[in-house]
Homo-oligomer: A and B are copies of this chain.
Amino acid sequence: MDVVSSSVWGPEPLPRVAAPLREQVTDRVRAAILDLRLRPGERLIERELTENLGVSRATVREVIRQLAAEGLVTVVPQRGAEVTSLSASDAADIYEMRASLEALAVRRFVQRAGEDQVRALRAAVDEIARSAEAAGDHLAAKDRFYEVLMEGSASGPLQQTLAGLQARVRLLRATSLSAPGRPTQAAQELSAVVDAVEARDAEAAADACVLHIRNAAATATAQLTG
A104 to B93, CA, bound (A): 10
Mask, A73-104, CB within 8 Å of B = 1, is 00001000000000101100110110011011
Report the minimal beta-carbon distance from A87 to chain B, rounded to whole angstroms: 8
A158 to B58, CA, bound (A): 31
Q: At the interface, is chain A mostly helix, strand, loop or mixed?
A: helix
Given the known interface contacts A65-B62, A168-B157, the answer about A97 and B104 at a Cβ–Cβ threshold of 8 Å is yes
- Is A20's CB within 8 Å of the partner chain B? yes
Which of A19, A87, A100, A160 has the most chain B CB within a 10 Å cutoff? Answer: A100
A103 to B168, CA, bound (A): 22
Q: How many copies does the complex hold?
A: 2
Q: Is the CB of B158 within 8 A of A93?
A: yes
- Is A71's CB within 8 Å of the partner chain B? yes
- Is A61's CB within 8 Å of the partner chain B? yes
A157 to B100, CA, bound (A): 14
Q: Pick the contact of A93 from B69, B87, B94, B156 — CB < 8 Å?
A: B156
Binding site for B on A (CB under 8 A): 16, 19-20, 58, 61-62, 65-66, 69-71, 77, 87, 89-90, 93-94, 96-97, 100-101, 103-104, 154-158, 160-161, 168
